[in-house]
Structures are given as structure tokens and as C-alpha cells.
Amino acid sequence: MCGIAFSYNPDSRQNLLNMKMTQALQEMKHRGPDDSGIQKGTLWAVGHCRLSIIDLQASRQPMMDKNKRFYFAYNGETYNFKELRHSLKQRWNFQTAGDTETVMAGLIIEGPSFLQKMRGMWALSLWDSLKQKLLLARDRLGKKPLYFTTDNHTFSCASELNGLLKLSASSEEEDPNSAADYLRYGYYLPGTTIYKGVQEVLPGHYLLWSPDQSHEQHSFWGLAFGQFSGSKREAGLILQEKLVAAVRRRLVADVEVGAFLSGGIDSSLVVGILGDRLNVHPKTFTIGFSDKDFDERSYARLIVERFGTEHYEECVTLEDSNKLTDLVLNHVGQPFADSSLLPSAAVAGLASSHVKVALSGDGADELFSGYQRYQVRAILRWYTRLPSKIRKNLEKVIRAIPGPIAHHSWNLIKKAHLFLDIAQRHLDETPYVGSLMYSRKDFMRLVPDLAQMGHTPPNLPEQTRLDDIHAMMAADTLVYLPQDNLLKVDRASMSRSLEVRSPFVDHDIVEFAFSLPRSWHRSGLMGKKMLRDNFSDLLPARLWQRRKQGFAVPVHVWFRQGMETTLQELLYTSSTSINSGFVEQMIDEHKTCRRDHGYRLWNIYIYLLWRQQHMKRS
């Protein structure tokens, strides 16, 4: 992977533009430590830092055509570049052997329509210095990031926010609508950031800009809901074929490719397909926790034994919480509440000491109905039909039982508490955009000034066409997946200079999964039926039978062992609209085990920590 940047500023001296570009690339050096370069004109500069994966010695960037008219910076991999290269060779005299020149040539010859032919993940910038026109684009699911800001005939873009802030002279003013989104969901909605005037190119879109006109974004891909016409058995055979092909495509590299192995179904399936269907036995990497409720290493070892991989493990300890805040502030560059960023970076760090590329299982939960929130929504259909008196008495009994510290996968009381939280806010989540941190009532208590603020996510499908669980899966694929999961994997892996590839996010798999009836994905309370039915022989029965755990971090423990004091200090030294009294109430309930507010407190803690840093910089 790599980091890219572009800046156009008619009011800036050339040496200043070059200095800013150099600073931006230095800020993103972790994304590409192998090489860097800058191409510049009088009013513009294109920058690139490279992590070399394909055509290691050549394919330097920024790349230009032979006439020095077009300047190209590219972050990503196009797995079918050899086929695309073959289709272009009569129209282009290739000088390198990699995918970079292939993509540049395709865009110059065919324009943005070429994006529809590309299989892979990317964020790219193509500057036409003759016509003074810029093309930016992101892959279909938004695996690779690209942020931009524009004002008064200036334009800047970069792979990461901290790099962009080095380029742009625009204000770093906080956007209250984005702050509301973050506190609701723990992440930002597509196209937005915490900063006013700083946007991101939307997944599956390309952007056109020139100094004499405002920018325009155009979609080249959208999530469609076709009706599969074959039988369930036929669908299973097609799924097997497509998933094996997606894994095979992601082995295209001139360096060794390894694999993450969390101990869950998804990453285990990827390793299983490598070993059983492709006869590839990669190096595998697992992160565990000293807290056994969060540790999955024993399940990962089952896969290691079955497929004979060369396996590496490390353990994350409680003291690593400081590393997590560093990741958020210095790599995400804005508040981000998903604490699994820490083990993601830890496993990336472990892998990067052995390989430069690793495969992961990201995306399977959204596409194949794996999240427990889908299970809860199914239970709610029954629960909401109970007489209100019975529900109130049941809730009173459950709330009277202290909330345990144990992970919810292993504790029925914790599950019951979480179920009541979701039941309390499920009407607020309809129509569904994402899982809320708070009910509408509690959110008004937390931030009364922001309660009516927030953005509307773009490009969500019409809810009326889908049942409620299918609508949740679609929204999670278009919102939660790019804005949380894929962002987390990109920043975590890039912080350790590792490229991560996710076969489940192949657009063939995505489109096929949503062409199937939702009932094929879920039976009663059990999800991932299509994966279970068609890959059951690949994994040990113990893995299929285990409860879903996820890549969790024990933040609830941290706020019972000292971090709550730091949160209180931030709360009273920061100027925000957060209701300190309500937060103190949550801290008290959390410390006395009446409620588990760990993830909510972490959400607020990260926001206040970012504000503290932001105020120092402003």
C-alpha cells in the first residue's frame, strides 16, 4: 500500500508548495516507507510514498506519461491488471511491469469508465496538467481512503487526514454535525469528517475538479439487490467458486503473502481455502489477550494444526491502552471509537515483521448476516409482542442483577443486559443506519446541543424494498463496513507498513451475497448459513459451534481500574457541550457494576482526548 497527495494553490509560492508536500508525505511515511517522490508544476504538486508489492524495482510514483502531461499517484492493488494490460497493449507502449502504469493508461485512454473494469482496492489521483483537470477515485467499498478540501480555486487531497492538514491552509474548525454522528455511532458517515470543509471521496465514486469549476462526485458502482433465479444448491456451488477465486486473486504479489488468523470463522475460512483449495500454506498471525474471556488463540491453533501453517502469536496486555490512543490521534486523525483498532495494529505489527501482505476475513459478517445484532432483531420481533407489563417486570429483574465484567459471548447475564440496551433503542434505529451508542433520550441528556444535528448517509437503498434484517445488512455494508471496519484495518495495517487484502470484500462476492434471499443467510437465530452449508468440511466442528466473539478489547476493565479518573479530568478541563453530570452517572453505574458503559465511556474519552490535542494545535 501507499500514501498519495495532491495540492493546487495559485496563491502559494512553488518552494512553499514543495515544502508542504514534503511535510505531508513525511506525515504518511508509515504508509509507504520504501520510496517517495514529488512531481510539481508552478501551481501544483503531486506526492507519493510507496510500499512496494508489485514490480518492486520499477513503477515509481508519481508516474507520468511519456509526454509529461498526466501525473498519476496510486494507492492500492488491481488484481486483474495483467488482463487489463493485455487489453490496452495495442493502444499503449508499456514501460513497466506493474499495475500502476496499467491503471494510469486505462484512465488516460478510456476515462473514468475504466474504473468499472478494475478488481481490487484503490484510491487514486490523475492530474491532467494541460487541461488543468483532476480525477480522484476510490474503490467500490472504500477500502482505501482519500480525503480532500477545496476553497477559492485551491484543492488538496491526501490518504490520511494528518497528511492533508499539512497541505491545506483551510480552517480546522470542528463540524458539529460530524461530532453528533461520531457520538451516536462511534464513526463518521460516508463523505464526512470531524472537520468543516474536509470531506472524503465516497466509496464507489470518482471526483472531477478543475480550478474554474466546483468539484463533482459521480458513482461508478452501487449495491444492487438482484433476484437469484437458481436453487440454493446452485447458489452454494457458485459461492464456493467465487470465494476461492477471490482468495486466489489476492495472492497476486511479488512478495510473500501471509494471513491473519483470529480464531473466528471468517479468517479461518480464508486460511482453509488457501490450504485446502489452493494448496498454499501461508505464515499466519494471531493476537491474544491476557484476559482469557477475550483470548481466541486456542481456536486459531485448531486451524494451524489442520492446515500446517507457520504460525506466530503475541499477547496484548492492559498497559497497551496508550498505544490505542496514539493510533487514533496519529493515524486515524479524528475521533474513532472502535477499540479493536489496537489488536488490529498489534497483529499487523506481528505480521509485518515476517511478510508485507496479509489476507483477512473482513466483510463476511455484513454480507452473510453474522452479527449478533441481526440475531437480536429477530428476537425483538417476538419480544415486542409480549404484554408491556411482562416486559417491564422482566427488565426490572434483569437490571437488578449487576452487569458482569465477562465478555458477552460467555455470559447470559451480560447478554441479557445488552439485549435490553438494544430493545430500548431499537425504535430509534428504525430506519437503520447503524448501531447507536445511546437511545434518543440518553443522547439528548448527553449532548443536548447536538441532539438535532447529524448527517444523512448517502446512497442507502430504499428501505421499503427489504425486510428489517436485510436492510440492516445493506446499511452495515455501505456505512459500517467502510467507515469503521475497513477504516480500522487500513489505519492499523498502514501504521505498521503492512498491506491487508480482504477476499470477502471482492465486489463479486458482495453483489452475489445480496442477490440471494435473506432467509438463505439466516435460519432462526443462526447466521452465516450459506458459509456453514457450503464450507462445513473446511473447518473443525468446534469452530462452527462456538459463539461469535469478535476482536474485542476489555475497555470496560480499563474504566474500572483507573482510566475513569483520566476521563473525569478531561471532562472538566475541556470546553464541550457534553453533560458532565450524565457522564459522571455512567461512570458511577459502570464502577459499581450496575451497567456496563465501557464502550460509551471509551467513545467520550477518545472524543475529549482528540479535542484536547486539537485545541493545542489550533
Q: What is the tens place of the pLDDT at every residue in 20-60? A: 999 999 999 999 999 999 999 999 999 999 988 887 788 89
Does a structural domain hold residue 429? no
pLDDT tens digits for range 500-545: 999 999 999 999 999 999 889 988 778 999 999 999 999 998 888 8
* pTM for this model (two decimals): 0.93
d(CA 53, CA 30): 15
Pick the closest to residue 141 from 589, 483, 522, 413 (CA basis): 483
The answer as to whether 348 is a domain residue is yes
Q: What is the edge-to-edge ordering of all strands in the sheet holding 147-151?
A: 35-40, 44-50, 2-8, 154-158, 147-151, 199-200
Parallel, antiparallel, or unpaired: how do β-strands 133-138 and 154-158 relate? unpaired
Q: Does residue 198 sit within a domain?
A: yes
How far apart (Å, rounded) are the C-alpha atoms in residues 458 and 73?
A: 27
**530 shares its domain with 560:** no
Identify the pLDDT of residue 303.
Answer: 95
Burial of 574 (0-12, 13-18, 19+ CB in 10 A): middle
Q: What is the pLDDT of residue 556?
A: 85
**Cβ within 8 Å of residue 250, ≥6 positions away:** 79, 257, 359, 501, 502, 503
**Nearby residues of 607 by Cβ (< 8 Å), 6 or more positions away:** 179, 182, 183, 335, 576, 578
Indicate whether 264 belongs to any domain. yes
Sheet holding 205-210, edge to edge: 63-64, 70-78, 120-128, 133-138, 205-210, 213-219
pLDDT of the residue at 576: 87
Main-chain phi, psi angles of 238, to 5 degrees = -65, -40
Same domain, residue pair 246 and 211: no
33 and 100 assigned to the same domain = yes
Please provide the average confidence, as pLDDT, over all residues in the chain: 90
User: Which of 496, 514, 545 corresponds to the end of one domain?
Assistant: 545
| 131 lies in the same domain as 240 | no
Name the domain count of the chain.
3
Report DSSP letters for 160-191, one per residue: SHHHHHHH--S---B-HHHHHHHHHHSS--TT
Tell me: do 173 and 321 sit in the same domain.
no
pLDDT the model gives residue 256: 95
DSSP string over 462-530: PGGGS-HHHHHHHHIIIIIIIIIIHHHHHHHHHTTT-EEE-GGG-HHHHHHHTTS-HHHH-BTTB--HH
- Domain assignment present for residue 374? The answer is no
Which one of 528, 545, 562 terminates a domain?
A: 545
Q: Which of 494, 512, 545 is the last residue of a domain?
A: 545
pLDDT reported for residue 204? 97
Q: Kindly state whether residue 253 falls inside one of the protein's structural domains.
A: yes
Q: Distance between CA 46 and CA 568 in Å, rounded?
A: 44
Residue 456 lies in a domain: no
Q: Please tell me the distance from the alpha carbon of residue 148 to that of residue 441, in angstroms, as a whole number.
A: 35
Residues 32 and 97 in one domain: yes
Same structural domain, 305 and 339:
yes
Q: Which residues of the chain have pLDDT under 50?
A: none
pLDDT at site 552: 67
Are 122 and 178 found together in one domain? Answer: yes
Q: Output helix, strand, coil percentages for the chain, rounded to the nearest 5.
A: 45, 15, 35
Contact of 554 with 601, CB cutoff 8 Å: no
Residues 284 and 320 in one domain: yes
Residue 155 shares a structural domain with residue 210: yes
Extract the C-alpha cell encoding 494.
498502514
Give the other-Cβ count within 10 Å of 569's Cβ: 12
Q: In what order do the strands lie in the sheet with 283-289?
A: 310-316, 283-289, 257-260, 357-359, 499-501
CB burial string 455-464: b at 16+ within 10 A, e below: bebbebbeee
Q: What sign has the CA pseudo-torsion 110, 115, 118, 120? A: positive
CATH number of the domain residue 63 falls in: 3.60.20.10
Same domain (yes/no): 519, 576: no
Measure the CA–CA gap between 438 and 154, rounded to whole angstroms: 39
Closest CA to 62 of 17, 125, 121, 114: 125
Q: What is the DSSP letter of 274?
A: I
Q: pLDDT tens, 583-611?
A: 999 999 999 988 889 999 999 999 999 99
pLDDT at 418: 73
**Per-residue DSSP letter, 592:** T
Could you tell me the CATH number of the domain that includes residue 336?
3.40.50.620
- Note whether residue 423 is domain-resident: no
Which domain does 170 fall in, by range? 2-219
What pLDDT is attached to residue 514?
Answer: 94
Residue 67 and residue 206 in one domain: yes
